[in-house]
Structure 1
Amino acid sequence: MEYVDSEAALQEARVLPHKKPVRRKLKLVRYVWFNRYLYLMLVPALVYYLIFHYIPMYGAVVAFKDFSITKGILGSDWAGMKHFEYLFSQDKFWQVIKNTVIISLYRLTFGFPAPIIAALLLNEVRAKVFKQTIQTIIYLPHFISWVILGGILINLLSTDSGIVNNLIKLFGGTPIGFLSDESYFRSTLVFSMIWKEFGWNTIIYMAALAGISPHLYEAAVIDGANRFQRLVHLTIPLIRSTIVLILILRLGGIMEAGFEQIFVLYHPGVYRVSDIIDTYVYRIGLTDGRFSLAAAVGLFKSLINFTLLVLANWLSRKMGEQGVY
C-alpha cells in the first residue's frame, strides 16, 4: 500500500507546473457543481448580507462630511476629522462610552454563564416530559418584544402600584425604585436581559452537548466517575470550544449594550447611568438631525468592536482554540 502511495506521489510530481493550476481549477469546478444545491441555498443569505450589511457601509463616509439631505452624500462638503474632534472633546460622549462598557460587562459577567449553567442542568434531567416543559418555559420570554416586556416590568416594579413594591410595603419595607433609582437601574437591566434571553441561548449549548458520544459517559461510569466528576472532566472540556467561540463573539459586541431594552425602560432621570452609544446616536441623529455626528459615533463604535473581536480571536488561538477565523 505504501508503494502505491509513493508511485502516486511521483506521478503527481511529474505533472508539468503549468498544468497543476488547471487541474486544481477543474477540481474546484467539479466540487462546486457537485454541491450546487447547497451553494444555491446559500445565495439568499449572501444577497441579504450584501444588500443590508455591505452596501450600507458606504454610508460611513458621512462621518467625514457635513452631511446635508438636500445635497446627498456625494454632494455634501468634506469635514475631515471635525466631528471626531468634537466628540472627543465632549464629556457627555465619554460618559456614554463608560455606561456602554459597564452595562456590557455586567451583561457579559452575569449573562454569559447563565445559559451554560442552564444547559448543563437540563442535560442532567432524564425525565423527558419535565425537561421539555422547562425548556418551553425558559424559551418563551425570547419571543416577547421588549415593548411588551417593558410594560410588564413597569407593572411589576413600579414604586406606586408595582406588585413587587406592594409586597415589600406589605412586609413593612420601603418601596425600591428599580426603574427610577440610578443605583438600581443597571441591575434591573441586566436581570431582565438574563431572564429574557438565557433560555434561548441554551439552544447552542444543548446542541453541543447532544454531540457528545454516550459511550464516553459509559466509560467514565465504568471507571468510577460520579456525576460531578463527569461534568467537570468530560462534559465541560468537550463543549469548551463552543463556549470560547460564543465568548469571542460576545467580546466583539462589547459596545452593544442593548438599544431596544434601554430605549423602552430608560428616562431622563436615569440618563447618567443608562445612556449608551446607541441611544445617544438615536437622539443626536434622528431627534436632533445631526447625521454626520451620529455617523461618527457609530463608526467609532464599530472600530472598537472590530478591534476587540480580533484581539479575542488572537487570544483564543494562543490558548489552543480554533477561534472564529
Structure 2
Amino acid sequence: MVKHSIEFPVTITNGTHLVQLPTRLTVAEAIAFKTKCKDLMQESPNRLILDFGHTTFIDSSGIGSLISCLRLAQTTRTEVILWSVHPEVRMAFSLADLDDILKIEPATQALTATTARRSQHRPPITHPSVRSKVKRLVDIVGALVGLGITALLFVPIVVAIKLDNPGPIFFRQTRCGWMGKRFQLWKFRSMVANAEALKSQVKNEVEGAFFKNAKDPRITRVGRFLRKTSLDELPQFWNVLIGDMSLVGTRPPTADEVDRYDVPNWQRLDVKPGMTGEWQVNGRSQVSNFEDVIQLDLRYQERWNLVYDLKLILQTILLIFTKNKGAF
C-alpha cells in the first residue's frame, strides 16, 4: 500500500510565505508540519502566514507542532500570523494558553463558517475519556471521598511536616494537563522548602524529559514516608474535583518537561492527567526511560474504558499497601 505524503501548499509573495494547513492537524500531519516549517525557515521569510481556513480539528500533537514552528520562527526573526482560525481550533489554542502568544488576524474568517457557528462552544474531542460524563461523575465522587480522607489526616500530617522541616505545608507546582493547559498541582510538601532552587544540584537518574533521583537529598524524613505511602498526593483530589485532573489518566508533566517534547510526545496530553494510571501501576519509580512512560500513557489511551479505570484504581490501592512500591 502506497502512503501519500501530506501536502502543505505554499504561496510566496514579496517575502511572505502563505501556508495552507490540512483539515486535521493530528500526529501524522503535525510531524509533517514541523518538517515543513523547518524547511521554510531556511529560506528566511519576512512573514509566515498559516491559513487555518480548512482546519476544523487540532489535537495536542498539532499544538506541539505549532509551538515548535513558533520557536523556529523566533530564531530567524520571522513574523508568524494565523488566518481563518476555526472556533474549535481557537478554543484549543485557549486551552493551551496560546492566546497571548499567537498573532491571529481578526479580519479573516474560517471557510467552514456554518460548522463553526454550531460548534464554537465545544472543545476538541481528542479522546473519548475527556467527554465521558460517567468518568467525570466518578472523578467528582472519588475526589469528595479523597478530600474527606485528607481532612481526617490533615492535622497529623501537617504537624509531622512542620516538626521535621519548617516551611510551607503544601507544595505547588505548574503542570501541563489536557491539550497542554497549565494548572497548579498541589501536594503535601515532602522536600525542603527551597527544593526547586536546589534541583540543578541533584543528578537526574532517568533518561528523557522527566526528572527522578532515588536518593534525592532534598526529600525530608517525613517526606520520604509521605511518598512511600502516597499521602503526599492527597491534596491532588482538589485538582480532580475542579477538573484539572482525573482519578485515572496520564502522568502530569512539568512545564519544562513539555518544552523538551518532540511532536509525537504531545499525544500523551490528549487525555486529562491522572492521580494514577498505567505509569504508576505498572512501573512507577522503576521506569527510568521517558519513552517507556510515553508507551504506558499511550497504552492507557488505547485500552481506556470505565471498567479499566476502576481496575487501575483498585490496583493503585493495593500498591499503596505493598512494601517498597512507593514513589521516590
Both proteins in one fold, TM over 0.5: no
Q: Which structure shows the bigger proportion of residues in helix conformation? A: 1
Q: Which structure shows the bigger proportion of residues in strand conformation? A: 2
TM-score class normalised by the smaller sequence: under 0.3
Which of the pair has the greater relative contact order for Cα pairs under 8 Å at 6+ separation?
1
Q: TM-score, normalised by structure 2?
A: 0.24
